[in-house]
Amino acid sequence: MPTLDTTLTFFAASVLLALAPGPDNVFVLLHSAQHGRRAGMLVVLGLCSGLLFHTAAVALGLAALLAASATAFTVLKLCGAAYLVWLAWGAWNAPVGMQGDGSSAALSAGKTYARGVVMNVTNPKVAIFFLAFLPQFADPARGNLAVQIFYLGAIFGLAALFTFSSIAWFAASFGAALQRSLRAQRWLNRTASVVFVGLAARLATSQR
């Protein structure tokens, strides 16, 4: 297994990467502001579950196949872009008005969690990133590489959970103030819709 020094270095690098502007943390920020802290945390759990999928893909060699196949990469990124467009449509047409949880639109826990999972899994850039990033901290001399990859993926997941949860917490506090105004709610929904369309366009035009 990686040494303690390697683990700490990897954790610190993972936190910085999770803080860097990207589709996942932007999604957490907007969803938390729109739907409240509970919904934001469920999305965070979904995104982190998606990271486990990408970790397994790297450990089992599936990510390498994705990186080598232009067709697979294109299909997955277009699915991800289509999902973001669907979220944009929903945000643009979301009803306004306070719900019981203090958010502008109530979503079931299962659907909210699933949004995070699908958002992460359908982004092939995450798989390619994991394929390039995780092996840098694995050492064949310290044991089975697949086990080390799973270990590193779990550490990255913890870093992402810590970082995204912090974003969700503060974004929900900011969003709660906006939810007191129907006009602000509508503005927030439309802003989220435009951002989702932008993320969809970015993903659809991304290259390996």
- For the record, the structure tokens of 188 come out as 């927030």
Q: What is the pLDDT of residues 86-140, one digit of tens each?
A: 888 877 877 665 544 444 445 688 889 999 999 899 888 888 888 888 888 988 8
Q: How open is the CA angle 104-109-112, to the nearest 5 degrees?
A: 70
Give the global pTM: 0.79
Per-residue pLDDT, 86 = 85
Sequence-distant (6+) residues with CB within 8 A of 41 are: 165, 168
Among residues 171, 107, 87, 165, the alpha carbon closest in space to that of 179 is found at: 171
Cβ atoms 86, 80 nearer than 8 A: no
